[in-house]
Amino acid sequence: MFMAMPAQAQLLKWGVKGGVNMTKIDWDGGYKGNKDNSTGFFIGPMAEFTIPIVGLGVDGALLFSQRGKDEVKQTGLEVPVNLKYTIGLGSLLGIYVAAGPDFFFDFKKKDYVDRKKAQVALNLGAGVKLLKHLQVGVTYQLPMGDSFTWKNAGDAIGAKNKTWQVSAAYLF
């Protein structure tokens, strides 16, 4: 019989995280520019600190991340920091929810696209922990401001990259 209890684990774990970014542009002011979904990726080291028995913890990562496409492609360093709550369903399975800020630092800059060098988003996510080492999750990133400004349309038009992430992580 399964009993829902906060998951137990060692305090600090290190690992690697990677996955797919699925981004859609939300243009300001009703502009009807390209709103097609685009696909990118992210990968990098991560750490997770969990309080035993309680199931509450924090995770963070340093991710090389690419999102968007064509002229508005963004490539940079992504630093998500999430408060995470895990409920264990037996010793081999756990379910988690997570939320927290996501910081993105863009590496590129073009003349007609003014990319924000630093961006902040709110992460909302959930997933499963399998076999004490593997995590699979889905996260939605809600940007707190414009991701870039398009200058080639006469007037400057702001836009936000709204991103779904599907990730897998392996913790040692």
Q: Does 3 have pLDDT greater than 50?
A: no
Q: What is the pLDDT of residues 64-119, one digit of tens each?
A: 999 877 667 789 999 999 999 999 888 799 999 999 999 999 887 665 566 677 88
Q: Does 58 have pLDDT greater than 50?
A: yes
Q: Does 48 have pLDDT greater than 90?
A: yes
Nearest to 38 by CA among 21, 58, 60, 61: 21
Give the chain's mean pLDDT. 84
20, 5 contact by CB (below 8 A):
no
- pTM for the model stands at 0.83
Q: Does 7 have pLDDT greater than 60?
A: no
pLDDT at 129: 96
Q: How far apart are CA 164 and CA 38, in angstroms?
A: 10
CATH number, span 20-144+158-171: 2.40.160.20
Nearest to 80 by CA among 56, 105, 55: 105
Q: How far apart are CA 152 and CA 83, in angstroms?
A: 40
Question: What ranges do the domains of the chain cover?
Answer: 20-144+158-171
What is the secondary structure of 83-128 as a DSSP string? EEEEEEESSSEEEEEEEEEEEEEE----SSEEE-SEEEEEEEEEEE
Q: Which residues partner with 41 through β-bridges?
A: 20, 66
